[in-house]
A = this chain, B = another copy of it.
């Protein structure tokens, strides 16, 4: 059911500074900042050989990462995204198992244009888990 690790997301207070650190100190391939106002973030992709890291900076009012950064002003690992083959089947199985899907429990279109679900950190070892249709 779980396939690839699609990405890990790191919330950062200063996207330019974090991008420069990954590019100049760690020597990573980084993309240009992309504003995603409908998701309340600006994102930079750090391209690794097998997956990617998404550096996220809040964008606009009510950014979904604002509260996290208020608690973690230096930034930190925000969530992990796993790909699944059939997200509707997974959603049904999660509901049957008692695991909590955030929001209204239905898939939404995520930042990559594919259906996603977010799972409650309390059910997954304190880790916010995103599932994305592969």
Contacts and interface: CB of A to CB of B under 8 A. Distances in A.
Interface stretch (A33-41, A43-51, A58-66, A103-111): A43-51
A27 interface: yes
- What's the number of copies of this chain in the assembled complex? 2
Give chain A's interface secondary structure class: mixed
B8 A28 contact: no
Contacts of A2: 22, 26-29, 46, 48
Contacts of A122: 74
Interface residues of A, number: 47
Interface string A78-116: 001011000000100110010100000000000000000
Given A4-B48, A24-B97, A25-B99, 6 more contacts: A2-B27, A5-B5, A5-B48, A21-B124, A48-B82, A76-B126
Interface of A: 1-5, 8, 10-13, 18, 21-22, 24-29, 46, 48-51, 53, 55, 72, 74-77, 80, 82-83, 90, 93-94, 97, 99, 121-127, 129
